[in-house]
A and B are shown apart, each in its own frame.
Chain A
Amino acid sequence: MEAHPANLPAPSQHRAGIRLPGLGVGFGGGMVMLYLSLIVLLPLAAVASEAFSLGLGHFWEQVTSPLAKKSLELTVICSLIVVVVNGFFGTILAWLLVRDKFPGKSIINAVIDLPFALPTIVASLILLTLYGADSPLGIDLAFTRTAIVVALCFVTLPFVVRAVQPLLLEMDREMEAAAASLGAGNFTIFRRIIFPNLLPGLAAGVALAFARALGEFGSVLLFAGGNPDTTVSSVFIRNQVESGNEVGAAAVSVVLLVASLLLLASVSLIQRWAIRHDRGSTDFIVTVENKDVSGGGI
């Protein structure tokens, strides 16, 4: 991959580009921008416009109204708990999938992506069946805050695993062997060698999981419901739309939008930082971006 641009003289590559598929570059670029504007940008601009349609003061009033504030706080706290839990278990799972050998490993590896493939409403229904009032395991979490955390853990599990896995796969094991021969114990090796190498992937995976958790709707809906103590922001927005308070819905949406933009920016900063600090890691950073961003979820 890296050999390519360097080997080719710039002009010939430019020419190849222009003569590529059918559309002229200008026309192609125009079509891409038009499609993105119509599908993504205009609708999102309509949300921002609606949120500020009655002035900045009214926007602030809506965002800081007791119910809106409560839902935002609940969403952020639950999402933070979720990324800590999945950061821990996700790293363990990635380690098992790369370094361990056990029967059924390839099936487990495939099942990790299930939350990306399974519709969120189905996830919600099934979690409610398993951990609800009629739980066969005798664990009733339905319509509690714990239910929110469990549902969010379900939908965000693949992010961390898929971000950490390629880094573990490409890690140079000679460093660990060297550390071990110098008398370092397993914990020291993990803390001083493995963990610092995993950090960029872990951070990117955690940021993406956090962004997903902040906006999650379907998986929370049936399992945690929308009682006053379990109304996350997405459910709050839906309720405001249904009761006709479009400005309130748009105002909270803008807060979520800004949060997701900041998280996306932080992911690309993390990746750039990792590339600059470890030239060897460039390849798998590309893989990370490819694999886990692709799983944006359902």
Chain B
Amino acid sequence: MSANPASRWGLRFLGLGYLTMLLLIPLVMIFYKTFEEGIGPPLDAVTSPDGLHALKLSLLMVVIAVPLNTVFGIGCALLLVRHKSKLNPVIDAVINLPFAVSPVVIGLSLYLLYGTNGWFAFLGEEGIKILFSVPGMVLASIFVSLPFVVRETVPVLQEIGTDQEQAGQTLGANAWQTFRKITLPSIRWGVAYGVVLTTARVLGEFGAVTIVSGSINGQTQTLPLFVEKQYANFNSTGAYGASLVLALLALITLFAMNLLKRKEDA
């Protein structure tokens, strides 16, 4: 279909116009609004004790949830691709659940499981606090970001096949050597892409964490919760400042996604 110039311009106007109104102007707005009154106020808000604590807590979520889901993701992908079993369709369906379930429902599920009447309420009686503290927020972060590494690793594993692994084993490599020297190097860009998506999701998660955390200033507030609290307290400069930090992280994510996609295709 070789569109004539008129319809080509029409499509460009519609498509790019929609994108501009929905994505591009909002992106520019974050920068504009943050620095409307100079660099001082947003910087003060982000470097306030509560702001810094929120940033640290967000990073803590990443440091715990991302490695766990990466190890799980690689192991699970190997299992799904290399071992045909009747359980595979079930595992596959469960892995997709966190994408389809509302973040609020995820938060509620943890709230009910670990709450005072929940099945795991005994943990609280033992003095292990899950809800309204960091462990609950970590569980929520792991839940919402669970599928990414599996989803990105499975197709790469399918593509590389097992020829090289078998060659390695014929030459006397043990299972761990085969994995480290052959499998991992061939799937690394797929895994890395999954890790980038997992990190972005953990950093940005709001709905699930808001239910389990209670959003206590300086205690159980990640950066997205800090944004909402600042806005609710009519401190929009603080909200924009923290938003800008998150937006910059999002842009770095986009850049990394593009880079890794190119590496994967190469």
Contact = CB atoms under 8 A, between A and B. Distances in A.
B231 A253 contact: no
Contacts, number: 312
Interface string A234-270: 1101100100001001100100110011011000000
Contacts of A29: 79, 83, 85, 87
Given A1-B158, A28-B75, A36-B94, A264 B100 contact: yes
A140 interface: no
Interface in B111-138: 111-113, 115, 118-119
B102 A217 contact: yes
B231 A222 contact: yes
Interface string A105-122: 000101111111111111
Interface residues of chain A: helix, strand, loop or mixed (majority): helix
B63 interface: no
Given A111-B23, A296-B147, A121 B100 contact: no
A129 to B, nearest CB: 6
A105 B91 CA distance: 38
Interface in B1-51: 1-4, 7-8, 11-12, 14-16, 18-19, 22-27, 29-30, 33
A294 B151 contact: yes
A21 B101 contact: no
B71 to A, nearest CB: 10
A217 to B, nearest CB: 4
B189 interface: no
Contact of B102 (A25, A150, A214, A293): A214
B94 A40 contact: yes
Nearest to A94: B15
Contact of B201 (A113, A114, A129, A296): A296
Chain B CB within 10 A, most for which of A13, A122, A126: A122
Given A22-B176, A96-B11, A120 B87 contact: no
A8, A12, A16, A257 — most chain B CB neighbours (10 Å): A16
B266 to A, nearest CB: 16
A146 interface: no
Given A12-B166, A110-B254, A117-B253, A234 B104 contact: yes
A294 B239 contact: no
A123 B197 contact: no
A25 B3 CA distance: 55
Given A122-B246, A125-B243, A44 B109 contact: yes
Nearest to A236: B104
Interface string B139-180: 100110011100110110011011101100100000110110
A241 B111 contact: yes
Contacts of B142: 39
Most A-side CB within 10 Å, residue of B30, B103, B108 = B108
Contacts of B247: 118, 122
A47 B112 contact: yes
A23 B100 contact: no
Interface of B: 1-4, 7-8, 11-12, 14-16, 18-19, 22-27, 29-30, 33, 72, 75-76, 78-79, 82-83, 85, 87, 91, 93-106, 108-113, 115, 118-119, 139, 142-143, 146-148, 151-152, 154-155, 158-159, 161-163, 165-166, 169, 175-176, 178-179, 183, 193-194, 197, 200-201, 203-207, 210-211, 223-224, 227-228, 231, 239-240, 243, 246-247, 250-251, 253-255, 257-258
Given A47-B109, A125-B227, A186-B1, 11 more contacts: A16-B165, A19-B175, A32-B91, A96-B12, A100-B11, A122-B247, A122-B250, A126-B26, A126-B27, A215-B101, A261-B100
20 contacts: A4-B163, A19-B178, A36-B94, A40-B146, A96-B11, A99-B1, A111-B254, A117-B254, A150-B22, A186-B1, A186-B7, A212-B99, A214-B102, A215-B100, A218-B206, A222-B228, A260-B102, A261-B100, A293-B96, A298-B200
9 cross-chain pairs, A with B, having the tightest CB-CB distances, nearest first: A215-B102, A119-B204, A43-B109, A296-B99, A260-B100, A217-B207, A21-B179, A298-B204, A117-B250
